[in-house]
Amino acid sequence: MAAPEPWKIVVIDDEEGIRRVMRITLEDAGYTVVTAPDGQAGLGLCSEMSPQIVITDIRMPGMDGLQVLETVKQRFPDIEVIVVTAFGEMDLAIQALQLDASDFITKPIDNDILFIALDRARHRHATQQQIKDYTRYLENGWAETTQELMETFAFQRNLIESSMDGIMGLDAEGQVLTFNRSLEQMLGYTKGEVLHTLKIDGFFPDGGADKFKSYLVSDAYGGKNHLPLYETMLSDNAGKHIPVQITATRLFENDADAGMVLFIRDLRELQRLEREMADQAKILHQDKMMSLGRLAASVVHEINNPLAGILNYLRLMIRILKRGPLQGDGQQKFQNYLELVESETDRCSRIISNLLTFSRKTPPSKGDVRIDELIQRCILLSRHKLELSHITLESDIEPDIPIIRGDINQIQQCLINLIFNAIDAMPEGGDLTLTAKADRGTDRVRLGVSDTGPGISDVDLPRIFEPFFTTKSEGFGVGLGLSTVYGIIEDHGGEMDVDTGPGKGTTFWLLFPAGTRTAAPEA
């Protein structure tokens, strides 16, 4: 007997190193592996070699992983898709599962978790193929009645029972003929309570069955007599409502109604993950608001100075006008006073505008970001706090530095977080340096925040990017600053590095892919 052909896998990732490591790892495990640097190339490989499994990064330029997933499910429904997400992207992972991904794994990829996900995908692929064969037999009408069909394919009951999704088979009157183990666990009924006894209407809350049936026979939801990924509620044996996702198909025999088959997925775990993600978003926003509060207290003092100057000059100009018409040098002095008032008002306006921009909770909007403009915004907001903390600020921005592509508000949040950490690291004062330069060899842009504090200990260093880890006293931080920065930088396709040591200060480096090089504006 010929040995079975090895399972074929297409790996899609825009990072060459990750593709190479995964290919070696999977080939050592006996898989046939091909790789692609982007979604379009990966879809081409799916057409050429018909793999059973696709592993795709969710963050890629051009066609991202979710678009790859949707296209694969539309064009190659038999292929199982595993998505790879970065830390803090649970919302994208949930979207991928809702789009019928087999599983998701997070970066950095752990081989044990990878092979667990592959085993699940293989089991799901095999199960789905057998279920399709089973459904095809039902639709082809190999027996005179649905009951005869179920008895004819009794040898496949083990397959139905082992399915991770619930499977319910119904006759033309809606009476239950198949009710697998997953449904027993999901709804709390036993087969004895259901088979040949209950009808489909009894599993829906009031009015739910009629709505489901109307969608099933409509042309608008996946084609007449087919209803994919329909989300609704089912009632368990205690009357509790269970959120589910149903894919249903009506069966016919000689053009006569022969019943239907329902594939049911329990959504409680997905909804739990969504709630956790919402809670995490609230905590992250709370951390940002804590930074904003510290920033606002500093900005209030900084605005008071120009406002006091504006008020004094305006009072002076009122007294001058009361003396009579302006002549000669008086007109020039009055003009100078007006220019000073305009300058100080503009300064206040820019400070308030930057503070409001930083405080807004807006969805990410990526565009071209000028490094010099970004750093000046951060300096404008933090200068007074640095002065109060007796910290000298220096900036070293390379001329003719390339732009980067990203959300300027999120990147500003990263720099503000790092500046505040540097201030906290120097309670007795010190020097803080903001650096921006281009890496000529790697086509990347480096942003650095350096302090002359005590540095990070070797014990704390491995944990600084963990959520909720903090070395600050209680009430001075929740340990999300660096974790937030790390997640934002990864979302922008960048990297984060730290250069530190006891007694030598700390420098955090943010590395972004460079865009088009642009000339620095005139002062």
Write the CATH number for 172: 3.30.450.20
Q: Is residue 485 situated within a structural domain?
A: yes
Nearest to 250 by CA among 271, 223, 272: 223
pLDDT at 426 over 50: yes
Q: How high is the mean pLDDT of the chain?
A: 79
Average pLDDT over residues 322-350: 76
134 lies in a domain? no
Same domain, 227 and 179: yes
Shortest CA distance to 395 belongs to which of 379, 384, 408? Answer: 379
Instruction: Give the pLDDT band of residue 32 (cuts 50, 70, 90).
Output: very high
**Does residue 24 fall inside a structural domain?**
yes
- For residue 369, what are the contacts with CB-CB under 8 A and spacing of at least 6? 403, 404, 405, 406, 408, 411
Q: Examine the domain organization and report whether 437 and 290 are in the same domain.
A: no
Higher per-residue confidence, 309 vs 456? 456
**Residue-wise pLDDT tens digits, 280-295:** 556 555 555 665 655 6
DSSP 199: B
Q: Is residue 523 part of a domain?
A: yes
The predicted structure's pLDDT at residue 469: 46
233, 281: one domain: no
Provide the pLDDT for residue 519: 41
pLDDT at 227 over 80: yes
15 Cβ neighbours under 8 A, 6+ residues apart: 57
Examine residue 135 and state whether it is found in any structural domain, yes or no.
no
Q: Rounded to whole angstroms, how far apart are CA atoms 521 and 281?
A: 37
In the predicted model, is pLDDT for residue 203 greater than 80? yes
Residue 137, domain member (yes or no): no
Q: Do 19 and 61 have their domain in common?
A: yes
Are 433 and 489 members of one domain? yes
Q: For residue 122, is pLDDT > 50?
A: yes
- CATH value at residue 39: 3.40.50.2300
- Compute and round to an integer the Cα radius of gyration of the chain: 32
Domain's final residue, options 129, 164, 188: 129
Q: What is the pLDDT of residue 129?
A: 81
| 1 occurs within a structural domain | no
Range of the structural domain that residue 121 is part of: 8-129
Highest mean pLDDT out of 367-376, 413-422, 451-460, 514-523: 367-376
Does residue 357 share a domain with residue 370?
A: no
Residue 54 lies in a domain: yes
Nearest to 226 by CA among 253, 255, 179, 260: 260
Same domain, 331 and 342: yes
In whole angstroms, give the CA distance from residue 18 to residue 296: 43
Q: Compute how many other C-beta atoms are within 10 angstroms of the C-beta atom of residue 506.
A: 22
Q: 370 and 490: one domain?
A: yes
Tokens standing for residue 64 = 């991202």
Picking from 217, 239, 266, the residue at the C-terminal end of a domain is: 266
Q: Looking at the structure, tell me whether residues 149 and 101 fall in a common domain.
A: no
| pLDDT of 102 above 80 | yes
Of residues 474 and 260, more confidence is placed in 260
Give, in order, the Cα–Cα distances in Å from 467 to each of 278, 353, 463: 16, 30, 9
Domain end, chosen from 361, 387, 415, is at 361
The CATH number given to whatever domain includes residue 325 is: 1.10.287
SS3 for 201-255 is HHHCCCCHHHHHHHHHHCCCCCCCCEEEEEEEEEECCCCCEEEEEEEEEEEEECC
Say if residue 372 is in the same domain as residue 491: yes
- Report residue 63 CA to chain centroid gap: 15
Determine the pLDDT at residue 111. 86
Q: Are residues 519 and 385 in the same domain?
A: yes
Please compute the mean of the pLDDT values over residues 217-235 and round it to a whole number. Answer: 83
Confidence of residue 468 (pLDDT cuts 50, 70, 90): very low
Pairwise CA distance, residues 64 & 73, whole Å = 15
**What is the count of structural domains for the chain?**
4
Using the predicted structure, report yes or no on whether residue 423 has a pLDDT greater than 80: yes
Supply the pLDDT for residue 300: 61
Task: Let me know whether 383 and 335 are in one domain.
Answer: no
Q: What percent of the chain has a predicted confidence (pLDDT) above 70?
A: 78
